[in-house]
């Protein structure tokens, strides 16, 4: 038992838990250990898949990690998949329509079997896989054994990003959705998945009341999580969409954002 008993804190990784060098500062590590040693659950909620998330730390994360923007919860300690909200085979016709009608795109997809595949790979796909140290298979289609697919990432290039999203707006995506972005990749996930739904589903599996669910994130893909939590904290370096969705500000990721979050949660709890 401790002051944080029955609390769940989920943090985005890049730009939030990690500093601008991609490292977790000692001050942050010490704060998380204080949080967990006093009864709290701490985890990460990231857009990365299990294949590409190499920052798991048993020392820091004592709850299953939320992956692929909430599409999956995986317990790295036990090797157990807690839940998967993935793209099912009923969406195959829409996936094939995108592949066949918007040319010159490389399509990555990540199976719940923890395999990674790519259709028509380009340099961006290869760099993306290599950057995350992910082994991948080049294929011509969506393989049955990959379903449910945790997420699809389409390499379109920044210059065609908006055009591709306009194209997707004309497609019947069935039970899928895309995450609006401005960059080289567009991500497609199950329509019932987001970081917010994933966070609350994880809280339920841990027996944590919604009023004791907290999170911190800096980007547009954190918006649903920030809205779902009792308090959604946004670091100073967060983007405008995150700041509009959150209800509490903290120091930047280079000024130990997560440590500041834990300090503020403690103050909040003592006033309850």
**β-strands 41-44, 8-11: how paired?**
parallel
Q: Is the confidence at residue 181, as pLDDT, over 90?
A: no
Residue showing tokens 């004791």: 212
Residues 119/92, Cβ–Cβ less than 8 Å = no
Round the average pLDDT of the chain to a whole number and report it.
96
pLDDT in tens, 221-269: 899 999 999 999 999 999 999 999 999 999 999 999 999 999 999 999 9
pLDDT confidence band for 190 (50 / 70 / 90): very high
- Is the pTM higher than 0.75? The answer reads yes
Q: Write the DSSP symbol of residue 87.
A: B
How far is it between the farthest Cα atoms of the chain? Answer: 58
Cα(272)–Cα(268) distance, rounded to whole angstroms?
7
pLDDT at 220: 87
Cα(76)–Cα(58) distance, rounded to whole angstroms?
8
The separation between the first and the last C-alpha atoms of the chain, rounded to the nearest angstrom, is 17
Task: Tell me what percent of the residues of the chain surpass a pLDDT of 90.
Answer: 95
């Amino acid at each position: 038992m401790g002051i944080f008993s029955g609390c769940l804190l989920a943090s985005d990784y890049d730009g939030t838990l990690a500093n601008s060098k991609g490292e977790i500062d000692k001050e942050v590590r010490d704060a998380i250990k204080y949080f967990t040693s006093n009864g709290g659950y701490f985890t990460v909620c990231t857009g990365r898949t299990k294949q590409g998330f190499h920052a798991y730390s048993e020392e820091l994360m004592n709850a299953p990690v939320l992956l692929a923007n909430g599409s999956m919860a995986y317990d790295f300690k036990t090797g157990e998949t807690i839940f998967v909200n993935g793209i099912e085979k009923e969406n195959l016709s829409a996936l094939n329509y995108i592949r066949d009608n918007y040319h010159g795109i490389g399509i990555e997809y990540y199976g719940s079997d923890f395999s990674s595949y790519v259709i028509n790979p380009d340099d961006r796909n290869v760099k993306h896989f290599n950057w995350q140290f992910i082994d991948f298979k080049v294929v011509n289609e969506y393989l049955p054994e990959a379903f449910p697919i945790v997420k699809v990432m389409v390499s379109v290039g920044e210059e065609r990003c908006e055009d591709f999203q306009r194209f997707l707006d004309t497609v019947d995506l069935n039970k899928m959705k895309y995450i609006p972005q401005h960059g080289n990749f567009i991500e497609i996930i199950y329509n019932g998945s987001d970081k917010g739904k994933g966070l609350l589903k994880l809280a339920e599996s841990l027996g944590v009341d919604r009023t004791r669910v907290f999170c911190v994130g800096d980007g547009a893909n954190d918006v649903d999580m920030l809205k779902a939590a009792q308090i959604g904290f946004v670091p100073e370096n967060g983007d405008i969409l995150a700041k509009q969705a959150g209800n509490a500000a903290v120091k930047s990721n280079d000024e130990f954002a997560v440590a500041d979050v834990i300090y503020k949660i403690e103050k909040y709890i003592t006033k309850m």
